[in-house]
Structure 1
Amino acid sequence: MARVAVVTGGTRGIGEAISVALRDAGMTVAANYAGNDQKASEFTERTGIKAYKWDVSDFDACLEGCRRIEEELGQIDVVVNNAGITRDATMKRMTRDLWDEVLHVNLGGCFNMAKSVWDGMNARKYGRIVNIGSINGQAGQYGQVNYAAAKSGIHGFTKALAQEGAAKGITVNAIAPGYIDTDMVSAVPANVLEKIVARIPVGRLGQAHEIARGVAFLVADEAGFVTGSTLSINGGQHMY
């Protein structure tokens, strides 16, 4: 029977590429999304992957979303915590609400989803969790104290949870993407984007499918000896 994988933020950008890669690897994929019903519907029509709507910052919604997926598709073996938002501002302009919103979605969502599937994975002695961090969680970034803190927290969360899961057949790893050619990055002004690319040794932005390929490796049955690791996919921009 095919493994069941849940990809949060899985209907657009990097998340869509991950969802498709796991589908192509033979998994039954459920793609979570938070807001855009039209985009989610188009995604399902295009890929054949069912989309499920809930806010990953809401613990009870995560529990219910995972319960529904298991009822409809089967027990969840794989979780990819990809959902994330930005609310950029310098500390002078950063509000508590902007801080909380990013921490609750980007870092809190990882806890909520892992907690929702942890007992089942422990009982079956198998699980794969991959958390999507960021180069900016490793190196920091001006105007992103909230985002950088949340993504840095993901890397610590990954290492700690990996230690709890190792003896139970559950691996927990992270991927730290660099600057990837998505709608979010494309919205950056052209002159700023040029400066970003100039700092990337390979001389280009990354592609979403390159992140997805890393995820597909980490969630494979054959990757059981890889846990607590962070795979940096950033074109050599930050070697960590």
Structure 2
Amino acid sequence: MDTCATGFSSTVFFDLETTGFGPSCDIVQLAAVNGSHTLNLFMVPRCRMERGACRVTGFSVRKNRLFLHRRPMLTNSLREALVSFITFLCMFRRPLLVGHNIRRFDCLVLARALDEFGLKTAFEVGIAGFVDSLPLACQLLKNSGIHSFKQEILVKTILGVSYVAHNALEDVQALQKLYWTLRPTASQIQQHMFSLDSLNTNAVKPGSPPGQGSLYEHFQRAMKVTASQGRRMSFR
């Protein structure tokens, strides 16, 4: 579907993998996709990985290093990842952000992290808003006979394919295909739009805000740190 047909200049699909299943958990992977453009970043969490999350995602932490299925991952700091996410979104002229079950989970975790580093305003001015594809899919498929609206089941049922679920990059690439196959109208999308400010995030405000330099300067510093330490910052 042409993105313009939805009434928005662009659509970015995003997902987080975290240390647990509550809003106070930490982010270990952040991925986003728009067409063939992808962002995929990993972070060493600042709190312990819950056993259930380890089983579901395959992530683990040993000696302050992040592993995915026992393979060491190249990582960025959480702040570097958030600045990179904002910069990625700036490529698409205030895109609509879409994710599955994000209103009850991912957006709460994201809002708290953005607040912590004083980046929430910079983030919000660069996007049109959010849409949770879970209630949207429920609306679009209410008479289809589908009883489970988990993303991997929807992808299997509607697209006829399986993928590696609970890997953020695999999740967003699969969601992008599913979303455009469902072909939501502009009116249906707008019914499900929301902002971070509409959520009850109970975000913790940082005690001392970061420097007041421009977003570009934040990103440049993050890139220098990444280059000097040989870490991974994946833009494609």
TM-score, scaled relative to structure 1: 0.29
Compare relative contact order (CA 8 Å, sep 6+) and give the higher one, 1 or 2. 2
Q: Which has the higher helix share?
A: 1
TM-score, scaled relative to structure 2: 0.30
